[in-house]
Amino acid sequence: MSDKALAAQLKREVERRRTFGIISHPDAGKTTLTEKLLLFGGAIHMAGSIKAKKAARHATSDWMTIEKERGISVTSSVMKFEYDGYEVNLLDTPGHQDFSEDTYRVLTAVDSALMVIDSVKGVETQTKKLMDVCRMRDTPIMTFINKLDRDGRTPFELLDDIEQSLSIECAPMTWPIGMGKLFQGVFDLRNNLIRFFDAQGGKSTRPKEAVVVKGIDDPTLDEHLGAQAAAELRTEIELLEGAGYPFDEKRYLSGEQTPVFFGSAVNNFGVRELLEAFLRHAPAPMPRKAETREVSPLEEQFSGVVFKIQANMDPAHRDRIAFLRVCSGRFNRGMKARHQRTGKDMLLHNAIIFMAQDRAGVEEAWPGDIIGIPNHGALRIGDTLCGKEPLRFLGIPHFAPENFRRVVLKNPFKAKQLDKGLSQLTEEGAIQLFRPASGRDLVLGAVGVLQFDVIAARLAAEYDVDVLLEPMGIAAVRWIDSDDKDAFARLEREYASSMVTDADGHPAMTFASEWRLEKAVEDWPQVRFLTAREV
């Protein structure tokens, strides 16, 4: 293929790709919405397939037993499907705050996000935290207000809640007609359409009955909705036109405005409108910042960044799958790529692509695609694979953990298995391992305490190692850095018993209380006490 033809194909493939993450507080309906989007894309053929496949594949895993018992997802999923000529890469993320570290890193690999809000509860705590992460990167966000078939807060209250809690403009694209038992459907504000609600539509991708109206004053509106509902709708639309924000694509793409859709994911209502608007307005793969320059997806040189590691997807082979976002150029099976951190070439002959919960070999991939690279520990989160030009992509964070446990090995003869298990499982980044500068205790740190249950269960199931994880007198840990080498050395000497190193060898310091942390920050202005570091 000529360079000109390759450039034209690269441009076409980039323009038709959409890579996004779904974010929400737990129980807002994120997994259900994901399922319906896959249903439209033909990646699954009946509602419930995601749960059925997940349960079947992991039925013998103690780790997934925890997942089923707690009723939550503990890891992100990557799903690829095609719809209306677009290639869609959908990244579903854990909603539970104890697994937010995984979610934060996934959001570095997407070009936009879809936020799900529960119409009964409105904006919740975890949604605010995830929004803060999106705002760090000015990620464009569309919003789906879910569960309109239940009695909840009024549409105006919900919009006000989003604007006040998340500091973002709301631009309604559809508007609900009634709510709960009185929910009749939605009014498509841009196309002057009424789409009627069908509570039996959950397993179908067929479009619901749509009635075209010629503006809100069309007299046929009363016939279709009833006089009272039509009058209420007219009043609400008038208020909206006076006080609401019209959709502005530039403000959406810059993260200043969120288009809002209303519906019921469990009944598959409002999902088609959301998906089609998303594909039309969401950004294609965008340039990404590297250490030396910005990398365009249209560059012919292949490059990609590892944003997630999953250990033991195949327990029999102790493999680790590195999830890699293709940033530029074309990936071909069997190609060589330079591993930036080691300077060595890697042969990428067995990469996989994710189709819902299944895996398949991939022959080629383009910017925006997510591919999995099986390896035995060579790749880490934050690693860049590229061509001849050395590149290192930025912006994949490690956050300082907030909870800590001492690792106590029940059988001392299994120290090697413990070391191997902790080394491999902490590569995933959800839990962090710290080794004290003095003493032999191993310290685990996590954003959420549920991570400790997960790692103990996985050590037992995957490495045959039983451990106790005991609480410790640590309130906080901070990575430390300084341009003043003398001050740094004095700090290390003075607080030797508080010094630790993380799994990558970065120095850090533990604190028994928030007061001690604040005092150290005050007493050592030459030293930076970091709550996050880039991988």
Q: Please give the pLDDT value at position 467.
A: 95
- Residue 176 and residue 29 in one domain: yes
Say whether 140 counts as a known binding-site residue: no
CA 535 to chain centre: 17
Say whether 160 counts as a known binding-site residue: no
Task: Quote the tokens at residue 532.
Answer: 């996050």
Any domain includes 106: no
Say whether 513 counts as a known binding-site residue: no
The domain that contains 420 carries what CATH number?
3.30.70.3280
Q: Please give the pLDDT value at position 53.
A: 43
- Residue 338 and residue 309 in one domain: yes
CA 303 to chain centre: 21
- Gyration radius (Cα) of the chain, Å: 25
Say whether 30 counts as a known binding-site residue: yes
Rounded to 5 degrees, what angle do the CA atoms 392, 86, 81 make? 80
- Residue 451 and residue 517 in one domain: yes
What is the number of structural domains in the chain?
3
Q: Please give the pLDDT value at position 241.
A: 85
Say whether 147 counts as a known binding-site residue: yes
Q: Please give the pLDDT value at position 45.
A: 45
Burial of 61 (0-12, 13-18, 19+ CB in 10 A): middle
What is the rounded CA–CA span in Å between residue 344 and residue 278?
40
- Residue 156 and residue 219 in one domain: yes
Any domain includes 13: no
- Residue 443 and residue 325 in one domain: no
Tell me which of 260, 281, 302 is where a domain ends.
281
Q: What contacts 24+ positions apart, CB below 8 Å, involve 488-496?
A: 488/526, 488/527, 491/524, 491/527, 492/437, 495/520, 496/437, 496/438
Say whether 523 counts as a known binding-site residue: no
- Residue 132 and residue 272 in one domain: yes
Any domain includes 88: no
* Beta partners for residue 21, in sequence order: 91, 113
Tell me which of 216, 250, 281 is where a domain ends.
281
Q: Residue 120: give the domain boundaries.
A: 22-74+112-281
Query: What is the pLDDT tens value at each position of the chain, 535 positions in all?
Result: 678 888 899 999 999 999 999 988 877 888 888 888 888 877 654 444 444 444 443 333 233 444 445 444 444 567 888 899 999 999 876 655 555 667 777 888 999 999 999 999 999 887 887 887 788 788 999 999 999 999 989 999 999 999 999 999 999 999 999 988 889 889 998 888 888 887 665 555 554 567 888 888 888 888 888 899 999 999 999 898 888 899 999 999 999 999 999 999 988 888 988 999 999 999 999 999 999 999 999 999 999 999 888 776 555 656 678 899 999 999 999 999 999 989 999 999 888 887 644 667 888 999 999 999 988 878 888 899 998 888 998 877 777 888 999 999 999 999 999 999 998 888 877 789 999 988 788 999 987 788 899 899 989 988 999 999 999 999 999 999 999 999 999 999 999 999 999 988 899 999 999 999 999 999 999 999 998 777 6
Any domain includes 83: no
- The torsion angle over the Cα atoms of residues 299, 379, 93 and 286, rounded to 10 degrees, is -10
451 with 98: CB under 8 angstroms? yes
Say whether 504 counts as a known binding-site residue: no
What is the rounded CA–CA span in Å between residue 225 and residue 223?
6
Say whether 26 counts as a known binding-site residue: yes
Q: Please give the pLDDT value at position 384.
A: 94
Task: Quote the tokens at residue 95.
Answer: 């909603």
Say whether 235 counts as a known binding-site residue: no
DSSP code for 264? B
Say whether 96 counts as a known binding-site residue: yes
Say whether 505 counts as a known binding-site residue: no
Any domain includes 468: yes
- Residue 457 and residue 351 in one domain: no
* H or E stretch at 304: strand 303-311
Say whether 176 counts as a known binding-site residue: no
Number of other CB atoms surrounding residue 232 within 10 Å: 15
Tell me which of 262, 281, 300 is where a domain ends.
281
Q: Please give the pLDDT value at position 59.
A: 31
- Residue 206 and residue 254 in one domain: yes
- Residue 143 and residue 268 in one domain: yes
Burial of 443 (0-12, 13-18, 19+ CB in 10 A): buried
- Residue 50 and residue 193 in one domain: yes
Say whether 92 counts as a known binding-site residue: yes
DSSP secondary structure string for all residues of 476-532:
EEEEEEES-HHHHHHHHHHTGGGEEEETT--EEEEESSHHHHHHHHHH-TTEEEESE
Threshold 0.85, pTM exceeds: no
Where helices occur in 244-306 by DSSP H, the ranges are: 249-253, 271-281
- Residue 124 and residue 270 in one domain: yes
SS3 percent helix, strand, coil of the chain, rounded to 5, is: 35, 30, 35
Q: Please give the pLDDT value at position 63.
A: 34
- Residue 356 and residue 415 in one domain: no
Any domain includes 338: yes
Any domain includes 391: no
Say whether 24 counts as a known binding-site residue: yes
Any domain includes 41: yes
What is the rounded CA–CA span in Å between residue 16 and residue 485?
51
CA-closest candidate to residue 322, choices 337, 334, 304: 304
Say whether 93 counts as a known binding-site residue: yes
Q: Please give the pLDDT value at position 54.
A: 43
160 with 239: CB under 8 angstroms? no
Where helices occur in 148-245 by DSSP H, the ranges are: 155-166, 220-225, 227-243
Name the 3-class secondary structure at 407: strand
Say whether 250 counts as a known binding-site residue: no
Say whether 365 counts as a known binding-site residue: no
387 with 338: CB under 8 angstroms? yes
Q: Please give the pLDDT value at position 27.
A: 79
The domain that contains 301 carries what CATH number?
3.40.50.300
